[in-house]
Each structure stands twice: as structure tokens, then as C-alpha cells.
Amino acid sequence: MKKKSIIVICAVLVIFGVATVLVLTGNRGNVSNVNRVVGYSALYGENSIKEAFDVIEKKFAKDFEGCTLTELRYDEDVENRFAEEIEKYHKENNQELIVVLSIFDTDEKGGDGGFNPNDTYANWQWYLVKTADKKSWEIINWGY
């Protein structure tokens, strides 16, 4: 009888552990196959742009449940499109600003319900600034 109780308790603990892992990892944002487009930039080096991409992917994976990030883009066209905004932000805040464009898809639920189901969002903008120590990027805004 005692052996059966131990087996039942172990089975319950294993089931509880698996359920906990599933809840904690859940249906997070998918960043497993992102096409990273890094083109010419007069403002930022390739490593700096890739570091900004890393920050975006981490945020997307954490907070964009049910969505799949398919592309991140920063190149001369993006830089030129947001040049005035980047320059103005730098003058007003004395911080570097980068605007990255992305494309992502939503699932049948519209991600966490905040997006249209089964849709593609193109030219989604991510605004990042260099942290006070100027060592890493920090997201300050995103959207259209």
C-alpha cells in the first residue's frame, strides 16, 4: 500500500511539473526563423544593428504570444525614412535612436487577441535607444 502511494505521489508531481513547464513556456512569440536584413547604415555598425535585433527578438518572444516574427530590417531605406525623427530625438534627448522595421504573422486567435487573426503585419516599427551607459539598446516604443 505504501509503495502505491509513493508511485501515485510521484506521478502527480511529474504531471504537475510538466504542466508548469507548459504554462511557463506557453505559446510565446516565435522567433525561430527570423530573416535579419542588415544593410548599409551611415549611423550604425552591423554589430550595433544586430544587437538591436537581439533585443527585439527577446521582447517579441516574451510578449507576442501566438505570433511569428518573420523579418527584421534596418538598411539605408529605413534609415532615410526615419532620418528626421532620429536626428530630432538625438537633439532633444541626447540619445541614439534606431527604428527597425519588422514583419510578423498572427495565428488563428490573433496572437493574444490584440491583433487580427491569421494576418500579416508589415512595416511594424520598433523604436530603440541606447541605454544611459551607451552599452545596449532598449525598446521605448513599437507599433505603426
pLDDT at 16: 47
> Each residue's pLDDT tens digit in the chain (144 positions)?
676 656 545 444 445 443 343 344 455 999 999 999 999 999 999 999 999 999 999 999 999 999 999 999 999 999 999 999 999 999 999 999 999 999 999 999 988 888 999 999 999 999 999 977 878 999 999 998
User: Over 10-40, what HEC string results?
Assistant: HHHHHHHHHHHHHHHHCCCCECCCCEEEECC
Residue 53 CB neighbour total at 10 angstroms:
24
Closest CA to 37 of 85, 79, 89: 79
User: Over 53-99, what HEC string results?
Assistant: HHHHHHHHHHHCCCEEEEEEEECHHHHHHCHHHHHHHHHHHCCCEEE
- CA 139/CA 130 separation, integer angstroms: 9
pLDDT at 110: 87
pLDDT at 133: 81
> Which residues have a Cβ under 8 Å from the Cβ of 101 and sit 6 or more positions away?
72, 73, 74, 78, 123, 124, 125, 126
pLDDT at 3: 67
pLDDT at 64: 96
pLDDT at 18: 36
Closest CA to 110 of 139, 59, 68: 68
The answer to whether the CB of 31 falls within 8 A of the CB of 71 is no
